[in-house]
Every structure is written in C-alpha cells, then in structure tokens.
Structure 1
C-alpha cells in the first residue's frame, strides 16, 4: 500500500528551509530526524539531488503529512520536483519507495525523490558530492 506513506526529505523541504515553509508548514502530523541508506547527496544549483549509492547514507527528516492534506500535498510535491509519473523521460526526480531509518534504528518505508536516471548518471560523473550527506551542513 502506498497511500499514507511518509516522505523522506533531505533538502529544501527540511524544517527551516524555504520549501518546508511553503509546502509543509501546518500540513504535517509528524516530523522526525531520519537517514536514508545507500544514497549519496549532490549539490545542485540551489537544491540537492540524491542518487542511489551502496554504502553511503544521507541525512534528512521523515515527514508524515496530515491525513486530510496527503493527496493534495503529494500532488504539489510531485509538481515541485518535476515528477510526472513512473519512468517518464521528463522527470527530473523520480518518486520511489525506499526504507528510511528512524533515530531508534527501526526501518520505515517512505517516499523519496531521487534524481532521475539520466541526471543521476551525470551527477555521478561530474557532480559535487555534499560531504556527510547533510544538506544543512554543506
């Protein structure tokens, strides 16, 4: 089941960042620190990109949207992240299900926006990695 999954956010949607205020403030039921295993974070102009990468992890938050805001919020975030649906060539990010790690070590399935395949290849070849995988400490 995918409805109601929390979101793992790692960049401008994190608390204190511009898109958190614009999209998430007042529309969440819970927010907690979390980590995303097997991912690397790259610096884009003004925002980050996460890509799959075994053995690395990135830092972020697990955000649970308020139930009444879930569908509209997910649609708004898909537009923000230029996600048009699974395997669409215009995607900048792909929204995928991944296991995130809560502070107590438990795993939870969450939506996360990862760089789409063509962009991910370019980032791996020429991108600037964010050391420690934490956008807020770049």
Structure 2
C-alpha cells in the first residue's frame, strides 16, 4: 500500500533526478569552456543527495521485514547454527548450517543457484581472506 509519505519521497526523488540532469549539463558546459566548478554548489548538491539518500535508506529499513541476522546463525535459514563457527570467514561452513549446505549440494536441478552457491562463488572469484593477493 502506497502512503502519502512514500509518494512525497518519490516526488522528492523525481525532482532531484531532473535537477541533477540540468546541473550536470551546466557543469559540463563549464568544463568545456575551462571554468572551474563552484565548490559551494557542489557542497549544496552533495548535502541534498545525502539527505535524500538517508531518507530513502530509512524508509527501506522501515519496510524491510527481514529479521536481523542472529550472530552465529546460518545466513540462509537464520535458525540453525553455522556448520563450523571457528572456520575461516571465507569458508561456506563459517556462514551456513549443515542442512542448508547439504540442500544446496544435493539439489541437482539444472540452473540451481542459491545463497550458498553465490557466497562460494564470490569467495572463489574474489580470493577474499585467503592470502592469495
């Protein structure tokens, strides 16, 4: 259900979006003609964007019904303890419970992709936390 408050927030976002297009075009013209950008205008825009961003994030937090993660609990089901709490942070076992890991590994459906797969893929492609850098 859309509230008056949400509509006002969306109107603010729309107005800011339109204004940014105009301001950006004006700044680009200044740059083409070798003029410096006005630091006061940049600060004003930055503060406006920060204010809007904080309002959007606050509303998203209000609307989010996902319960906060419980420390030491599975990042997928949120109910069971992680498989190996003392495992290194980059390991799947430090983030998911045995049941969720088993469900992921035993799911033979074509195209299966779940948070366990995504986490493992991110760790493999990013070499995070393993000293491979």
TM-score (norm 1): 0.22
TM-score, length of structure 2 as denominator length:
0.22
Highest CA radius of gyration, 1 or 2?
A: 2
Higher helix share: 2
